[in-house]
Amino acid sequence: MASPITLHLDLASPYSWFALDAADRIAAEHGREIVWNPVPNWAVLKAQGIHPPLASPVRTAYLMADMVRSAAFLGVPYRHPERIPVSSVLPARLYHTIAETDVAAARVFGRAVFEAYMLHGRDISEETVVREVAESLGHDGAFVSEGMTGADAKARLFAAVDRAAADGAIGAPFFVLDGEGFFGVDRLPQLEWRLKTAS
């Protein structure tokens, strides 16, 4: 079986959200699966020595407008969050904790986090919000608490950031196909092209 495509993404990144469905479709058409590695984008950029994308007012203004435009262009449901950016540390830790035993359940949780932020404007940096999302999916309260703040959960996220940095990630979403990196939702056509040439 062909190796999976790794997707380094941020659960608070609009561009990561925009890429999900199209990436799944492209991968499935070529007999690949996509493996998520949720990480806080700022942590990966810090590891790579790159300034945050919203550090410049003029770039911030452009990206804020581009997010709305990109969602419309791609046909992805999106409600521009009132607060952006927000930290995805807590949901990312919990994602990796869930994925330790059930990757499918982790993916369901990850999508629910995206929807809470991208569609309903909920602040996913808040522990109470992440807890409500997880418990609505049937995850036990004690498990959720440990998965957000426990030492093992923190270690899992550190390891995930290290994996993203080692793969050369320079932002989110960042796809790795057979060792080759593709940065951004706008690189999906190139990812699809590479898959066609590799088959």
Per-residue pLDDT 10s for the chain (199 aa) are 689 999 999 999 999 999 999 999 999 999 999 999 999 999 999 999 999 888 899 999 999 999 999 999 999 999 999 999 999 999 999 999 999 999 999 999 999 999 999 999 999 999 999 999 999 999 999 999 999 999 999 999 999 999 999 999 999 999 999 999 999 999 999 999 999 998 6
Domain range holding 152?
5-198
Reported as a single tens digit per residue, the pLDDT across 171-180 is 999 999 999 9
- HEC string of the chain equals CCCCEEEEECCCCHHHHHHHHHHHHHHHHCCCCEEEEECCHHHHHHHHCCCCCCCCHHHHHHHHHHHHHHHHHHCCCCCCCCCCCCCCHHHHHHHHHHHCCCHHHHHHHHHHHHHHHHCCCCCCCCHHHHHHHHHHCCCCHHHHHHHHHCHHHHHHHHHHHHHHHHCCCCCCCEEEECCEEEECHHHHHHHHHHHHHHC
Give the residue numbers annotated as catalytic, written as ranges: 13
- pLDDT, residue 54, reads 87
pLDDT of residue 198: 83
**pTM summary value:** 0.96
| pLDDT for the residue 199 | 66
The confidence score (pLDDT) of residue 1 equals 63
What is residue 157's predicted lDDT score, i.e. its pLDDT?
Answer: 98
Please count the structural domains in the chain: 1
pLDDT score recorded for residue 64: 97
CATH number where 185 lies? 3.40.30.10
